[in-house]
Chains A and B, each alone.
Chain A
Protein backbone atom coordinates (compact mmCIF):
# COMPACT_ATOMS: atom_id res chain seq x y z
CA UNK A 1 0.00 0.00 0.00
CA UNK A 2 1.50 3.37 -0.98
CA UNK A 3 2.11 5.81 1.81
CA UNK A 4 -0.60 8.38 2.29
CA UNK A 5 -3.45 5.93 1.61
CA UNK A 6 -5.42 5.55 4.77
CA UNK A 7 -7.80 2.84 5.72
CA UNK A 8 -10.77 4.88 6.84
CA UNK A 9 -13.33 3.64 9.33
CA UNK A 10 -16.87 3.12 8.05
CA UNK A 11 -18.79 6.38 7.74
CA UNK A 12 -15.78 8.59 7.11
CA UNK A 13 -14.96 7.65 3.53
CA UNK A 14 -13.80 10.31 1.12
CA UNK A 15 -16.50 12.00 -0.97
CA UNK A 16 -15.68 10.07 -4.12
CA UNK A 17 -17.19 6.59 -4.33
CA UNK A 18 -18.27 6.59 -0.73
CA UNK A 19 -19.73 3.29 0.41
CA UNK A 20 -22.84 4.21 2.37
CA UNK A 21 -24.05 0.73 3.12
CA UNK A 22 -22.63 -2.74 2.64
CA UNK A 23 -23.90 -5.84 4.35
CA UNK A 24 -24.99 -9.42 3.95
CA UNK A 25 -27.92 -10.79 5.85
CA UNK A 26 -30.18 -13.84 6.01
CA UNK A 27 -33.79 -13.11 6.92
CA UNK A 28 -36.66 -15.48 7.75
CA UNK A 29 -39.39 -15.96 5.15
CA UNK A 30 -41.93 -13.64 6.74
CA UNK A 31 -43.62 -10.50 5.44
CA UNK A 32 -42.51 -8.59 8.55
CA UNK A 33 -38.82 -9.45 8.10
CA UNK A 34 -39.06 -8.50 4.42
CA UNK A 35 -40.65 -5.13 5.13
CA UNK A 36 -38.10 -4.39 7.85
CA UNK A 37 -35.26 -5.03 5.41
CA UNK A 38 -37.00 -2.95 2.75
CA UNK A 39 -37.20 -0.02 5.17
CA UNK A 40 -33.57 -0.38 6.19
CA UNK A 41 -32.30 -0.27 2.61
CA UNK A 42 -34.74 2.31 1.25
CA UNK A 43 -34.24 4.55 4.27
CA UNK A 44 -30.55 4.70 3.40
CA UNK A 45 -31.14 5.31 -0.32
CA UNK A 46 -33.65 8.07 0.42
CA UNK A 47 -31.15 9.83 2.70
CA UNK A 48 -28.63 10.19 -0.15
CA UNK A 49 -28.65 13.25 -2.41
CA UNK A 50 -27.27 11.33 -5.38
CA UNK A 51 -30.50 9.33 -5.73
CA UNK A 52 -33.44 11.41 -6.98
CA UNK A 53 -36.96 10.88 -5.67
CA UNK A 54 -37.73 9.02 -8.89
CA UNK A 55 -34.70 6.76 -8.38
CA UNK A 56 -35.77 6.06 -4.80
CA UNK A 57 -39.32 5.34 -5.92
CA UNK A 58 -38.09 2.77 -8.44
CA UNK A 59 -35.72 1.17 -5.96
CA UNK A 60 -38.41 0.75 -3.31
CA UNK A 61 -40.79 -0.70 -5.85
CA UNK A 62 -38.28 -3.11 -7.43
CA UNK A 63 -36.81 -4.18 -4.10
CA UNK A 64 -40.26 -4.88 -2.67
CA UNK A 65 -41.11 -7.04 -5.68
CA UNK A 66 -37.85 -9.00 -5.38
CA UNK A 67 -38.15 -9.55 -1.62
CA UNK A 68 -41.81 -10.59 -1.86
CA UNK A 69 -40.99 -12.96 -4.73
CA UNK A 70 -38.24 -14.62 -2.66
CA UNK A 71 -40.30 -14.94 0.51
CA UNK A 72 -43.62 -15.87 -1.07
CA UNK A 73 -43.00 -17.55 -4.42
CA UNK A 74 -39.46 -18.83 -3.72
CA UNK A 75 -39.60 -19.99 -0.11
CA UNK A 76 -43.39 -20.20 0.19
CA UNK A 77 -43.21 -18.56 3.67
CA UNK A 78 -41.48 -21.74 4.88
CA UNK A 79 -40.40 -21.22 8.51
CA UNK A 80 -37.09 -23.01 8.03
CA UNK A 81 -36.07 -21.33 4.78
CA UNK A 82 -34.19 -18.05 4.68
CA UNK A 83 -33.64 -15.33 2.12
CA UNK A 84 -30.03 -14.23 1.73
CA UNK A 85 -29.47 -10.64 0.75
CA UNK A 86 -26.29 -8.78 -0.02
CA UNK A 87 -26.50 -5.03 -0.39
CA UNK A 88 -24.10 -2.36 -1.58
CA UNK A 89 -24.97 1.32 -1.74
CA UNK A 90 -22.48 3.86 -3.06
CA UNK A 91 -23.00 7.40 -4.31
CA UNK A 92 -23.62 6.26 -7.85
CA UNK A 93 -24.67 2.66 -7.32
CA UNK A 94 -27.40 0.64 -5.66
CA UNK A 95 -26.90 -3.11 -5.91
CA UNK A 96 -28.63 -6.00 -4.15
CA UNK A 97 -28.56 -9.72 -4.67
CA UNK A 98 -31.46 -11.71 -3.27
CA UNK A 99 -31.37 -15.49 -3.06
CA UNK A 100 -34.12 -17.78 -1.85
CA UNK A 101 -34.08 -21.51 -1.09
CA UNK A 102 -36.88 -22.37 -3.48
CA UNK A 103 -36.66 -24.45 -6.67
CA UNK A 104 -36.31 -21.37 -8.88
CA UNK A 105 -38.23 -20.75 -12.08
CA UNK A 106 -37.72 -20.28 -15.77
CA UNK A 107 -37.92 -16.64 -16.78
CA UNK A 108 -39.24 -17.57 -20.21
CA UNK A 109 -42.25 -19.26 -18.63
CA UNK A 110 -43.51 -15.97 -17.22
CA UNK A 111 -46.04 -14.60 -19.71
CA UNK A 112 -45.79 -11.01 -20.90
CA UNK A 113 -48.36 -9.23 -18.72
CA UNK A 114 -48.86 -6.45 -21.29
CA UNK A 115 -50.09 -8.82 -24.00
CA UNK A 116 -53.78 -8.29 -24.65
CA UNK A 117 -54.78 -11.78 -23.45
CA UNK A 118 -52.84 -11.36 -20.20
CA UNK A 119 -53.93 -7.84 -19.30
CA UNK A 120 -56.59 -9.03 -16.91
CA UNK A 121 -54.45 -11.62 -15.15
CA UNK A 122 -53.96 -10.52 -11.55
CA UNK A 123 -50.35 -11.80 -11.38
CA UNK A 124 -47.08 -11.54 -13.28
CA UNK A 125 -46.19 -7.86 -13.22
CA UNK A 126 -43.42 -7.84 -10.62
CA UNK A 127 -40.55 -8.83 -12.90
CA UNK A 128 -41.66 -6.34 -15.50
CA UNK A 129 -41.71 -3.51 -12.95
CA UNK A 130 -38.23 -4.47 -11.72
CA UNK A 131 -36.94 -4.35 -15.30
CA UNK A 132 -38.55 -0.98 -15.91
CA UNK A 133 -37.16 0.72 -12.84
CA UNK A 134 -33.68 -0.82 -12.56
CA UNK A 135 -30.60 -0.21 -14.71
CA UNK A 136 -29.83 -3.92 -14.66
CA UNK A 137 -31.58 -7.07 -13.49
CA UNK A 138 -30.23 -10.59 -13.83
CA UNK A 139 -31.40 -14.00 -12.66
CA UNK A 140 -29.10 -16.95 -12.12
CA UNK A 141 -29.72 -20.06 -14.19
CA UNK A 142 -31.82 -21.77 -11.53
CA UNK A 143 -33.97 -18.70 -11.07
CA UNK A 144 -33.66 -18.51 -7.29
CA UNK A 145 -31.27 -15.56 -7.20
CA UNK A 146 -31.77 -12.11 -8.65
CA UNK A 147 -29.43 -9.16 -8.97
CA UNK A 148 -30.87 -5.67 -9.03
CA UNK A 149 -28.74 -2.69 -9.94
CA UNK A 150 -29.59 0.97 -10.23
CA UNK A 151 -27.28 3.75 -11.26
CA UNK A 152 -28.86 7.13 -10.61
CA UNK A 153 -30.13 8.76 -13.77
CA UNK A 154 -29.21 5.77 -15.97
CA UNK A 155 -32.15 4.18 -17.74
CA UNK A 156 -32.34 0.44 -18.44
CA UNK A 157 -30.43 -0.79 -21.47
Chain B
Protein backbone atom coordinates (compact mmCIF):
# COMPACT_ATOMS: atom_id res chain seq x y z
CA UNK B 1 0.00 0.00 0.00
CA UNK B 2 1.38 3.37 -0.97
CA UNK B 3 0.69 6.04 1.60
CA UNK B 4 2.23 8.85 -0.45
CA UNK B 5 3.33 12.09 1.16
CA UNK B 6 2.67 12.32 4.89
CA UNK B 7 -0.63 14.09 5.48
CA UNK B 8 -0.80 13.73 9.27
CA UNK B 9 1.50 14.95 12.03
CA UNK B 10 1.56 12.28 14.71
CA UNK B 11 2.36 12.94 18.35
CA UNK B 12 2.03 10.78 21.46
CA UNK B 13 0.63 12.63 24.46
CA UNK B 14 0.18 10.63 27.68
CA UNK B 15 -0.58 7.38 25.88
CA UNK B 16 -2.89 9.01 23.35
CA UNK B 17 -2.07 9.37 19.66
CA UNK B 18 -2.78 12.89 18.46
CA UNK B 19 -2.96 13.12 14.67
CA UNK B 20 -3.01 16.62 13.21
CA UNK B 21 -4.06 17.18 9.63
CA UNK B 22 -1.45 19.14 7.69
CA UNK B 23 -3.74 20.26 4.84
CA UNK B 24 -5.94 23.34 4.97
CA UNK B 25 -8.14 21.93 2.23
CA UNK B 26 -9.10 18.28 2.26
CA UNK B 27 -10.78 18.26 -1.15
CA UNK B 28 -8.39 16.66 -3.61
CA UNK B 29 -9.22 13.02 -4.38
CA UNK B 30 -5.61 11.79 -4.34
CA UNK B 31 -4.96 13.68 -1.15
CA UNK B 32 -8.05 12.19 0.48
CA UNK B 33 -6.93 8.68 -0.49
CA UNK B 34 -3.56 9.32 1.17
CA UNK B 35 -5.19 10.75 4.28
CA UNK B 36 -7.50 7.75 4.46
CA UNK B 37 -4.62 5.29 4.14
CA UNK B 38 -2.62 7.06 6.82
CA UNK B 39 -5.60 7.23 9.17
CA UNK B 40 -6.45 3.56 8.71
CA UNK B 41 -2.81 2.56 9.28
CA UNK B 42 -3.00 4.05 12.78
CA UNK B 43 -5.49 1.32 13.66
CA UNK B 44 -4.77 -1.50 11.19
CA UNK B 45 -0.98 -1.45 11.24
CA UNK B 46 0.09 0.40 14.39
CA UNK B 47 -2.73 -0.96 16.55
CA UNK B 48 -3.21 2.36 18.33
CA UNK B 49 -6.06 2.30 20.83
CA UNK B 50 -6.61 5.97 21.70
CA UNK B 51 -6.68 8.44 18.86
CA UNK B 52 -7.46 12.15 18.71
CA UNK B 53 -7.83 13.81 15.30
CA UNK B 54 -6.97 17.50 15.50
CA UNK B 55 -8.64 19.65 12.81
CA UNK B 56 -7.05 22.99 13.87
CA UNK B 57 -5.63 23.74 10.46
CA UNK B 58 -8.48 22.39 8.32
CA UNK B 59 -10.52 25.02 6.48
CA UNK B 60 -12.37 22.84 3.97
CA UNK B 61 -13.47 19.25 3.99
CA UNK B 62 -15.44 17.43 1.29
CA UNK B 63 -17.96 14.62 1.56
CA UNK B 64 -15.30 12.18 0.33
CA UNK B 65 -13.20 13.15 3.35
CA UNK B 66 -16.22 12.60 5.61
CA UNK B 67 -16.46 9.12 4.08
CA UNK B 68 -12.90 8.36 5.18
CA UNK B 69 -13.69 9.54 8.70
CA UNK B 70 -16.71 7.25 8.84
CA UNK B 71 -14.65 4.26 7.67
CA UNK B 72 -12.01 5.22 10.26
CA UNK B 73 -14.70 5.29 12.95
CA UNK B 74 -15.83 1.78 11.98
CA UNK B 75 -12.26 0.46 12.11
CA UNK B 76 -11.76 2.06 15.51
CA UNK B 77 -14.94 0.49 16.86
CA UNK B 78 -14.04 -2.93 15.42
CA UNK B 79 -10.64 -2.71 17.13
CA UNK B 80 -12.30 -1.63 20.40
CA UNK B 81 -10.23 1.53 20.29
CA UNK B 82 -11.36 5.12 21.01
CA UNK B 83 -11.55 8.05 18.63
CA UNK B 84 -12.20 11.71 19.29
CA UNK B 85 -12.21 14.73 17.01
CA UNK B 86 -11.23 18.19 18.17
CA UNK B 87 -10.59 21.81 17.17
CA UNK B 88 -13.15 21.85 14.35
CA UNK B 89 -13.91 25.31 12.95
CA UNK B 90 -17.55 26.46 13.15
CA UNK B 91 -18.06 26.31 9.35
CA UNK B 92 -16.82 22.73 9.26
CA UNK B 93 -18.75 21.79 12.36
CA UNK B 94 -21.82 22.96 10.45
CA UNK B 95 -20.99 20.34 7.80
CA UNK B 96 -20.99 17.69 10.53
CA UNK B 97 -24.34 19.01 11.79
CA UNK B 98 -25.97 19.11 8.35
CA UNK B 99 -24.95 15.50 7.73
CA UNK B 100 -25.77 14.56 11.35
CA UNK B 101 -22.28 13.12 11.73
CA UNK B 102 -21.96 15.04 14.97
CA UNK B 103 -24.15 12.23 16.35
CA UNK B 104 -21.63 9.57 15.38
CA UNK B 105 -18.38 11.23 16.34
CA UNK B 106 -17.20 12.25 19.79
CA UNK B 107 -16.28 15.87 19.07
CA UNK B 108 -14.50 18.11 21.59
CA UNK B 109 -13.78 21.81 21.38
CA UNK B 110 -10.09 21.71 22.29
CA UNK B 111 -7.29 19.19 22.23
CA UNK B 112 -7.14 19.39 26.02
CA UNK B 113 -10.83 18.44 26.24
CA UNK B 114 -10.23 15.58 23.82
CA UNK B 115 -7.32 14.20 25.85
CA UNK B 116 -9.22 14.52 29.11
CA UNK B 117 -10.48 11.12 30.29
CA UNK B 118 -9.43 9.37 27.07
Chain B residues with CB under 8 A of A35: 27-28
**Distance from B65 Cβ to chain A, minimum over Cβ atoms (Å):** 10
Instruction: Name the prevailing secondary structure of the B interface residues.
Output: helix
Within 8 A of A (CB), among B61-85: 62-64, 66-68, 70-71, 73-74
By beta carbon, the residue of chain B nearest A114 is: B100
Query: In the assembled complex, how far is the CB of residue B78 from the closest CB belonging to chain A, in whole angstroms?
Result: 12
CB pair A129 B70 closer than 8 Å: no
B95 at the interface (CB under 8 A from A): yes
Give the contacting residue for B91; candidates A54, A68, A119, A122; CB below 8 A. Answer: A54
Interface extent on B, as a size class? 20 to 34
- Given A61-B62, A122-B68; A72-B29 close (CB under 8 Å): yes
CB pair B68–A132 under 8 Å, yes or no, is no
Is A68 a contact of B64 with CB atoms below 8 Å?
yes
The interface residues of chain A lying within 8 Å CB-to-CB of B70 are: 120-122
Whether the Cβ atoms of A122 and B60 lie closer than 8 Å is no
Contact between chains at B99 and A125 (CB < 8 Å): yes
The B-contacting residues of A in range 101-133, CB under 8 angstroms, are: 113-114, 119-126, 128-129, 132
The docked-state distance in angstroms from the alpha carbon of A125 to that of B61 is: 12
CB atoms of A122 and B67 under 8 A apart: yes
Shortest distance between the CB of A127 and any CB in chain B (Å): 9
Is B13 among interface residues, defined by CB-CB distance under 8 A? no
Contact B29 A125 (CB under 8 A): no
> Which residues on A sit within 8 Å (CB–CB) of B59?
57
- Which B residues lie at the A interface, using CB under 8 A? 27-30, 59-60, 62-64, 66-68, 70-71, 73-74, 91, 95, 98-101, 103-104
Known contacts A121-B70, A125-B67, A128-B99, then 9 further A-B pairs from the complex at CB < 8 Å, ordered by chain A residue: A57-B59, A60-B60, A65-B63, A68-B62, A72-B29, A119-B101, A122-B67, A126-B62, A126-B63
